[in-house]
Structure 1
Amino acid sequence: MTSGTSSVYPSKHNSRTHIAGKSALGFTTILLLLAAGLVLSVTVAVMLGPVAVAPGTVWRIALSHLPWLDQWLPVTWTRPEEYIVWEIRFPRVLLGVIVGGGLAVTGAAIQALIRNSLADPYILGVSSGASVTATLVIVFGAFGILGRFALPLSAFLGSLAAMLMVFGLARVAGRISTTRLLLAGVAVSMMLSAVTSFIVTMAPNEKGIRDAMYWMMGSLAGAQWDTLLIPTLIIAAGTIVLLTQYRSLNALLTGEEAAVTLGVNVQTFRVLLVIVASLLTGAVVAVSGSIGFVGLMIPHIVRLMVGSDHRRVLPVSLLAGAIFVVWADVCARLVLAPQELPIGIVTAVCGGPFFVWLLRRSSYSFGGEK
């Protein structure tokens, strides 16, 4: 990997100090605070809306659906309140938790893969690849033979193809330049976005166009209980795999040569990261559409809080990303109520200025890297 790495990453001379630079007590405190913040965020997000619901009512309704508690809780809520909380708001908020956590973890993995804090699934074109194949399913019912697995599987295949394209374009003489990788990601993202737009224009009816366009900008409005299981399992499994490989992720931060000396098979590990990142991105895009900048902002902020050790970065990113997307969705629902904004607009409003700040702060020389 060539030079041009953001200053957030340690050099191989001070990486051990940087990675171990945060105390265990501080990390535990941050983890507990974020867990409590997530519970609070979920509670408030379910409460807010055209029909306000008390926090106690929110959790009594939720607990009443557990088999071993339903007979012990007296019914103090109305049927409309139960329908709003359990059938509409809770699935949507929990989907925000899943999507936010998945995008943040994926962003952390991709940034470690290329040792650059300007990378995320959106900027590298991975989300755009997932959008192409997922839009085919939404508009034309492609892969219908796969039933409910058609959308997540097609999104995974699209994200994997996009990532392979980006790495193929960035690889010159057996080496991958950070600058070429980012530029290839932007180019692939633009091309695939154009393909997605073309597919939408070919939709057989206006409803298909409207649904696809809204989905492309990101939305949690279609959340249902039966759509939560598959992305939850995929993101949980992907996060566990990455956590088991935290030493290899840490080694990548020191550079390819140093990672090899530490016993990491860099080429094989890269393939694993590409597959896991594509799977996570595909799972998220399949249920929420294309939501940008979460995977860019959250891991970067988390590294400033807990250091660069991925044993800490990954779980904290999971919680922080979940909280961010939950509140982004609250803004999307309430800012222009009764109209609803696509959540991708909210994350872009936050992420665009953050990207500019990060670009200005990072030690880049686009003209000097070969």
Structure 2
Amino acid sequence: MSTVPATGPHAEPPVPVLPDGLTLKKLTRTIARIKVIWRISLPQAHPHTPPQTDLSEYTNSTPPPSEIDLLATTSGENGVAKANGVNFQPPTDYSHVLLRLRKCLPSSESNLLAYEYLSSVIMPLFPPGVMVGQTLVQVPSKLISRANDTLHDLEESGVRPSHRLNLYLAGDPRPSEQHMEEHYAFLLEDMTPDTSRGEFLLEFKAKWLVQSPNAPVEWKRCRNCALRLRKYAKSLKKGKSADWRGLCPFDLVSGDTKRACNGVKRILGYPRSEDEKLVERVTQALMSCSQLSILKELQAHLDPLGILKANHKSKEFLTAMTLRDCTFFVKVSPTDVQARLGDFDVKSGEGGKSDYWVRVENELISEGWYNGTEEGDFPWKADGLEVVCRV
């Protein structure tokens, strides 16, 4: 395995190059809203078959992710993944590592710059062991071409989700493809649950753990709940179905066990939310983990002015926006609950994103979504159903 030098003072100097003889095999098991996941192996290898996977795709409350996850199983030299200074050593066949490739999205940052940002800005903010382990690798363009070919095949067979159609991977050199230079990818610590042992994976975004500094003084709802209700109203106008009930991030950081349980029930979803012992176990785990309190403190410290007054080009503000969109990966087993933070996608404010943030914040204020004075006959207007958040 050869190496190439990485730029940036905090990036790993040697960047492993994945073998170009890898082949792709689609995992056949699917669930609603699942990501596209692949197994990678060398033709002569006999890869370990990982357990069946339940991985939920991001909700409609956030833009689609800029990467696609590939389950890696390949022989060859070891790779070492790193998260905030802590190495983890995957097996030689990489059966417990995920390979994450970048999609052709105008708003997405190159993986090299993303890793430099991750290692120099994000990793130092957290103590060891709370982030998903990851490192940078160089990926052969032939592998990306084959992956794109498979995506085309999925579209032709009608398997690929409609909102992913005509969206492919960056780094394909062929002129017929969406062209965007990309030579790198991420190896990630695999949080895949072993369903044969009763494990399952929860994915959720804690979002805004402190109120928006621009919210009116007399606010009744946190930014997350205000935005969720506004999106519900917009869906109704388009004739689409949506759920106005959802997670209030303030419950998770309230320090109140009853409120935290309500938040965990939203995360677990039915029918798991009916299991009182499970709800209690996950609630205790999340209340005792350091990630929530760290995120809350950082969000407040890095963005004291809010979207309407902050300098959208400042590192502090953009880091706060990144932290508001990261993902919790919680692997639950019969005996343990393991939480990691991941998906720290770089926020630049470019490509119209900065204007979008300002527009949404202004609409939440002017249309009364923070105050609960929005116009319309909505379900939460009924007695006892009003959405009111508490710090």
Same fold (TM over 0.5): no
Larger RCO (alpha carbons 8 Å, 6+ apart): 1
| TM-score (norm. length: structure 2) | 0.25
